[in-house]
Amino acid sequence: MPKIIIYHPDGSSAKYGLNGPSFTVGRADGNDIVLPAGAASSHHAVLKLNETGDYTVTDLESTNKTKVNGSSVQTVPLRNGDSLLFGDIAADYHSEIVIASAPFRDDQPTQIYEQRSAPPIIPGAAAAAAKVASVVVVPQVIHRPASTTPRRSTHSPDGGCFALVVFSLVLPVAFFAGLVIRHHQDKGEWFWNYLQQYLHS
């Protein structure tokens, strides 16, 4: 569990175990970690759990700034062994996630925030939970219903016969029309007048 040790001006110190999502730090009584009187602001900084399992410190626009390892910071992730200053109040950050830092002797009582215990298990609730855990979810496949309206294929025998009949009627008519027009152009008279004369002769 990550821990932060606050060093008081009188030489005493207090160690806090961090096991929650965030902790406010400052002189005001409403903070999670209350700093002793000094140059720290009433609401000086906040510690937030990050994805590595360590905490990130963010300065809350304090008057005398927040420093990590001697440098003023706005937001910076903390690592095991980092030294902090909230105004003039010194602190050390320690974590089980060790990255090239000195070992930490954990021989001081720890104040733990947000310690949570598992809720009691009721026999009926335990059986219900086991039943829910044993349920296997089977994905449902949705089948589209087949259409009841018959679809007419463009390659059906009926379609082919119809096209053949139309073609056999259109072709002779077009051919005859061409002969009439050609006769009119060559002879200067319409073909049916010539046909009438031929039939009466």
Q: What is the pLDDT of residues 96-106, one digit of tens each?
A: 875 544 444 45
Q: Is the alpha carbon torsion for 6, 77, 107, 24 positive or negative? A: positive
Report the chain's mean pLDDT, rounded to a whole number. 75
* Residue 3 pLDDT class (50, 70, 90 cuts): very high
Separation between Cα atoms, residue 35 and residue 33, nearest integer Å:
6
This prediction's pTM: 0.50
Q: Looking at the predicted structure, is the pLDDT value of residue 197 above 90?
A: no
Separation between Cα atoms, residue 201 and residue 189, nearest integer Å:
17
Q: Which of 103-117, 130-144, 181-195 has the highest mean pLDDT?
A: 181-195
The residue among 90 and 153 whose pLDDT is bigger is 90
- Average pLDDT of span 143-162: 54
- Average pLDDT of span 42-70: 96
Predicted confidence at residue 44, as pLDDT, reads 96
> Apex CA 68: angle with CA 18 and CA 91, to 5°?
50
Neighbours of 157 (CB within 10 A): 8
The residue among 134 and 16 whose pLDDT is bigger is 16
